[in-house]
């Protein structure tokens, strides 16, 4: 396992370096990889592992940087968990499939392609963690679709909470209307918004 961890971390370091250099030279924002910061990746790995998430959905795969962090955490469970990751850009998804395989975590990942809200409708529950890292403005739509499929104990993590709060306004508004969730914004990377629910009573539909 230690050797497998080293392989995945070496691939992560390579992706981060290549991604940052590609993004600096790429004028089209849509084509950039926009990988999450290392500190955010380390924290995501820690959180998913420590809270023993088993069925994770990631929205916004890009070339697979956060996908590898999440899959590394799922791999460490006694009965390994499963990650479904969604991306609309075919080139980025191809790069992610390749990177995830090179990091040797492909056994834990399923790749779906298309618009996140539409694809989310096809995913079966239960889901105990969602990582939102796509266009931000549609995160509330994906939450509405996935809401009925969430387990009572669930964790929602959203990147860019400090860098782009206005674009996440609808998402924050939806979550604020849900009393079962405890939320926190952490100054890690571009700002991670974390919401956790342990629903002891019946869960409400938004």
Ligand X SMILES: C[S@@+](CC[C@H](N)C(=O)[O-])C[C@H]1O[C@@H](n2cnc3c(N)ncnc32)[C@H](O)[C@@H]1O
Residue ranges that bind ligand X, judged by CB under 6 A: 34-36, 60, 62-63, 65-66, 86-89, 92, 115-116, 133-135, 138
Helix (H, G, I), strand (E, B) or coil at 93: helix
* Minimum CB–partner distance for residue 88 and ligand X (Å): 4
The H or E element spanning position 72 is helix 65-75
* Minimum CB–partner distance for residue 14 and ligand X (Å): 13
Closer by beta carbon to ligand X, 68 or else 203: 68
Closer by beta carbon to ligand X, 15 or else 195: 15
Alpha-carbon span 100 to 59, nearest angstrom: 16
- Residue 203 tokens read as 């869960």
Closer by beta carbon to ligand X, 29 or else 201: 29
* Minimum CB–partner distance for residue 193 and ligand X (Å): 14
Residue-level length of the chain: 206
Of 192, 124, 181, 185, which Cα lies nearest the Cα of 153?
181
* Minimum CB–partner distance for residue 66 and ligand X (Å): 3
- Residue 114 tokens read as 């298309």
Closer by beta carbon to ligand X, 51 or else 89: 89
């Amino acid at each position: 396992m230690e050797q497998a961890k080293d392989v995945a971390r070496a691939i992560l370091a390579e992706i981060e370096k290549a991604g940052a250099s590609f993004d600096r030279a790429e004028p089209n924002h849509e084509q950039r990889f926009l990988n999450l910061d290392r500190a955010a990746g380390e924290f995501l790995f820690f959180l998913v592992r420590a809270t023993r998430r088993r069925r994770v959905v990631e929205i916004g795969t890009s070339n697979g940087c956060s996908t590898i962090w999440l899959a590394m955490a799922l791999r460490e469970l006694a009965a390994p968990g499963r990650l479904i990751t969604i991306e609309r850009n075919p080139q980025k998804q191809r790069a992610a499939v390749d990177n995830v395989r090179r990091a040797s975590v492909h056994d834990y990942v399923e790749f779906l392609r298309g618009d996140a809200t539409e694809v989310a409708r096809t995913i079966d529950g239960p889901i105990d963690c969602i990582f939102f890292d796509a266009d931000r403005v549609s995160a509330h739509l994906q939450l509405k679709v996935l809401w009925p499929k969430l387990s009572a104990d669930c964790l929602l993590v959203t990147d860019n909470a400090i860098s782009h709060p206005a674009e996440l306004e609808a998402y924050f508004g939806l979550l604020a209307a849900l009393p079962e969730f405890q939320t926190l914004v952490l100054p890690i990377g571009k700002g991670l918004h974390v919401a956790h629910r342990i629903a002891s009573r019946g869960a409400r539909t938004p």
